[in-house]
Structure formats: C-alpha cells, structure tokens
Structure 1
Amino acid sequence: MAMSVLTWQKSSYSVDAANCIYVAAASDSTIKIRESGDPDTIITSTPDRLRAFLHGVKAGEFDHLTT
C-alpha cells in the first residue's frame, strides 16, 4: 500500500527550526502533528478535536504549562 506524502506546515511564529510544531492534512481526512525535536513521532487527530484544542489554546487554558 502506497503512503501519501504529507505537506508539513509550521507556524510563522516559529522562528527557530529546531523548536517547531508542524501540522499536515492527510488524505484520510485526519490531521497529523509532529515536532522538530522528534519528527518520527506523529500524532493523529481529527479536525474537530484539533479545533477544540486550538480554541482552548487561544482561550489561555494551557498557558500554565509554558511557565
């Protein structure tokens, strides 16, 4: 079975390529997420779950994890 090639995108806020989170839309309608420090580890999510997470990030629900 052939695997589709993912087109990874990083945030324009990521200035250091060694500290980035990348996302890609897969052909099976899932979202793939990886980080530059361990690019072989890929998390799979759905658009709805990612949307809910991003709303939480924007609302500051996870700010305590970065201090």
Structure 2
Amino acid sequence: MRRPLGANSGLLDPKSVVAYRYRAYLYDELGRGGAARDDFNRILELDPDNKDAAKALKRMGPDIRQMKVQ
C-alpha cells in the first residue's frame, strides 16, 4: 500500500504551497500522476492564482480517474 509522502509524519505543513509543490513534482517524476494532481489541486485551493500549479495540471491533461467507462 502506498502512503503519501509526508503523511502523518508532521513533515508537511498543510498550508504550505511550497511543500505541496515540491511533493507534487516528486510524485510526477515517480510516475504517480494521481497523487501529483491531488497536490497541484491542493495548491490551487490554497493559492487560486498559482500559475505553476495551473500550468502543471494543464500539461498533465484530463484526470482519467474522473472519466466514466462506456
């Protein structure tokens, strides 16, 4: 079972845009796109004008977890 990096460790400040950004890019590099997308979305919740997070989400394309199978 994969746990989020920093989860329950006290190492990730839940209001730190910088911490979420670093973790999102790390997740993306590790091929964990869903986790990266979650962190980029969290960044936009904390800072709706964050261009880096918006650009990263746009680059990642649609979230396949939200797509319906026909």
**Normalising TM by the smaller chain, what interval?**
under 0.3
TM-score w.r.t. the length of structure 2 is 0.25
TM-score w.r.t. the length of structure 1 is 0.25
Structure with more of its chain in strand, by fraction: 1
RCO comparison, higher one (Cα < 8 Å, 6+)? 2
In our comparison, the structure showing a higher alpha carbon Rg is 1
